[in-house]
Every structure is written in C-alpha cells, then in structure tokens.
Copies of this chain bind each other. A is one copy, B any other.
Amino acid sequence: MAHQHRDYEALMRRHGFRVTPQRQLILDAICEGEGHSTPEQIYERVHAKAPAVNRATVYRTLDFLHELRLVFAADLGGGSMVYEIAGDKPHHHLVCQSCGKVEEIPHQTVKGLFARIGREQGFTVKTDHLALFGLCRDCRGEDPGS
C-alpha cells in the first residue's frame, strides 16, 4: 500500500502482533486523511471500502497503532481524539476558539519549553501533539467580553 512511513509490517510482527487486513485498511484511512482524523472519520473511510469492519475494531486498532507509535494522537477539544500518521517531525496545534481554525506550531517553537521543563522539573514531556486554545489573528480583537 506504499505508506510513506517505514516498514510497519515488520514493526508489528517484531512485537509479536499480527498484520491483518483491518489494520492495513485503518492505516490507509489515516494516511488518506492528510492531517487529523477522528475515529468516526476513519471508520467511515474504512467502512466505504470494507463495510464489515466494526467501530470497535477501529478504536482498538487506533490504540494499537498509537502504542506502536505509528500514529500520533491529540486532543484538540473537538469531543474526539484525532489521529495522524506519524513519521514526520512532531508538530503542535493552535485551535481558534472563535472560528475553529487549526494552525500548526513548528516543533522548534515548543522544543525550548519542553527542554526547560525537563531541566528544571525533571519531567520528560511526551505530548506528541500539543494543542493550545485561543484566538487566531483574524479573530482576536473581535472578542471583547467573552
């Protein structure tokens, strides 16, 4: 299926897990998303190709892929977690509370903070997708009271 990332099949097998069609379909669906996908979106993409696949399998597989570090998981506050294919450098998100727009923060910007926390508090930050909420360039200034 030519995923852009490295040999996920070998990774699964090396850890003693099986490579099933469902796992491949779900991984494909995450890649198709080009960005963040909710479990429901992933389920729908998979379901379009393979109607027999169950929601529970999607949830179980997303946990599984996240544990194998094949996907990133983030809570962008939309009610569901969102998942994204791993492999590129980590990046983080700014979520506008007014218009809902999501923009990225380069890891470079955040790196210093994580390092400082490691140094000063002895805590290793493992958040792979940080989400910060606030007002984007277009919406700030429009939101007086709230």
Contacts and interface: CB of A to CB of B under 8 A. Distances in A.
Interface of A: 67, 75, 77, 94, 96-97, 103, 105, 109-110, 112-114, 116-117, 120-127, 130, 132-137, 140, 146
A124 B113 CA distance: 17
Chain A interface mostly helix, strand, loop or mixed? Answer: mixed
B126 A105 contact: no
A140 B124 contact: yes
Given A75-B75, A113-B110, A103 B127 contact: no
Nearest to A120: B109
Given A67-B146, A114-B132, A123-B135, 9 more contacts: A94-B123, A110-B113, A112-B113, A117-B132, A125-B134, A126-B133, A126-B134, A127-B133, A130-B132
A117 B135 contact: no
27 contacts: A75-B75, A94-B117, A94-B123, A94-B125, A103-B121, A103-B123, A105-B117, A105-B121, A109-B116, A109-B117, A112-B113, A117-B132, A122-B136, A122-B137, A122-B140, A123-B132, A123-B135, A123-B136, A123-B137, A123-B140, A124-B140, A125-B133, A126-B133, A126-B134, A126-B135, A127-B134, A130-B132
